[in-house]
Structure 1
Amino acid sequence: MPVKNPIIGWKSEFYWFYVKIRDLNERDTLDDLFTNPTASVSALNSAADASTYHAGNAPNYTSMALRRVVETYFRDDGEVWNANKIGSYPAAQFTDQMWLDSVADTTLLPDGGAMGIAAGTTPEALDKMLDAYEYLRSMSLTTLSFEDYLATFGVRIANAELHRPELVGRKSVWQYPVNTVDPTTGTPTSALSFSYDENIRERKFFKEPGFIIGVHVVRPKLYFKNLKGSLTHYLDQGLSWLPAIMRDQPETSLREFAKATGPISGPPTNDYWLDMRDLFMYGDQFSNIALNTIEHSFGGPTAALVRKYAADADVDALFVNAANNYLRADGVCQLSVKGSLQDLTGAHVAERSL
């Protein structure tokens, strides 16, 4: 479909995941299928859904597998898998790691309680207590579970099953728009086209029943419209430069900004904290023009500091016609499966038996 900006690129990615039956959230019900010949999973039946090629009146395994993939690979801890959507599909985060990942609203952080230091306690005594605590923490004794407790006596318990889908293949391509003609108006415009031809020859043994599911993710290059300047310009304090002598005190890299004085415009509803360390690790965006004048500018961070997911309106703004705010995808995926199964109903079997 025609897109507005003729020079900003888009990234298209295909992922393939191995999702075991025991990876699904419905694993407790589905386990009965393999141990009880009269088991029924009709409680998992769902209505027809064209987006997952589901005819209805049966479990929607595509939706179940997609949920586990999204929860595991495309959501941070505590995020609901389908809370952020573009149309009817779960939205992927539109950026890799950035210093914005550490931004936190001041009002959401606990103040902490009083330390209750006894009169006459010396700094040397406090330092010894801190050293003792860090020693215990290094041995994982400050957040001790029952399994950890048993391990201190030499009793080892097998690690719990994580029920995590496995990434078995990934392919990505970066594409710039090309000149074309808008079929509805006959005027010159820009459009996108992606092409893949990939062979994955790695052998893989799938030891449990499950599914191979492919996920297609398209991410256009976007700018944060509400970042009014580079965070680099706020390296105006000694601790912000992360002196080596303070590396054992990670809290020194945290910095609080008043809502109207930091790099985030809008301004945010409240003051906010961020970790200056992330600037050194993940970098920053840069622009030499006002970001509200270009098409590929996402309306974030918002006043509530939402910064990971684009809304439908952000997607509409990328296309010439908001009614055609999508990219078509089509292809063929062929798997070479080696196993003990044999086709007993095909014509070649009948011919061989004559």
Structure 2
Amino acid sequence: MSFPIVRNRRLRSSNALRNLVRETSLSVHDLIYPIFVTHGSQVKEEIGSMPGVYHFSLDLLEQELKEVTELGIQAIMLFGVPEHKDAHATSAHDANGIVQQATRLIKQWFPELLVIADTCLCQFTDHGHCGVVHFDEKKQRAEILNDPSLELLVKTAVSQAEAGADIIAPSNMMDGFVYAIRQGLDEAGYNQVPIMSYSVKFASSYYGPFREAAHSTPKFGDRKTYQMDPGNAREALREAESDVVEGADFLMVKPAMAYMDIIRTLRDQFDLPLVAYNVSGEYSMIKAASLQGWVDEKSIVMETMIGFKRAGADLIITYFAKDIAGWLK
């Protein structure tokens, strides 16, 4: 005589029992909230392709961060949208640049809030690329110069650390960027400032809304020469391993939704904290569908976050962070 197995049905019948045996969980402490800061006054401008996400001028930033901290979010990712752009991204490493000003203010207002400074040049260059561009007359094409770009990135990272950034997050994908920034920070006396490397950053179509938000769309060409081919998984391992050797303290996979296999691969290979960046296009797709009534926003967002954690992410950068923090309460 055989008997039906009912154990799983019993667990599913009780929320308390399900919670006791749940293998993967999500906490507000897992979340990093991206914020866009800009010049001007009384600016709280919604980004058209990212409903619920705004540009903030510094005079309105404190109120936004008060809400963030009251929700229990402990870390923000800071992106600057500057007034001045030029070929060499001088406002990126200016002591009075928008990111530097914002960082100093944030550390005055909320000393315990972790400020993670995105360290790139694309928002600050007039051409929209992440490095120094040289036009080769012979080849009749523009090229990104790696080593001169590294020099500017190091200056930017040191400037951000001087302003009070707790973590430097280089997103440029130049060769050797982690080593160069680690060396630059150490020489400047910021050897305790960790590096959250955008280790595996794919040349993705999911970045479209961010480029509107950061005003960073390239004026010519694309970023495929220095961002990864979406078809390459073994290359992701090489990129991450290189960053580990060069001194990274966190590894990141960007985007997250289409690359959960990469998150799992890195989790299995490395023991550093692993970050999933739930990028702008992923956010906007869910927002658009929920605004149409096609999906339940809360349910699908929470399921997606659990998916990132189950794949192996320790931390999640997401524009949904405030919503999630509220739902978790």
Please classify the TM superposition score into its range, dividing by the shorter chain length: under 0.3
Q: Which has the higher contact order (CA 8 A, sep 6+)?
A: 1
Scaled by the length of structure 1, the TM-score of the pair is 0.20
Scaled by the length of structure 2, the TM-score of the pair is 0.21
Larger Rg: 1
Q: Where is the helix percentage greater, Structure 1 or Structure 2?
A: 2
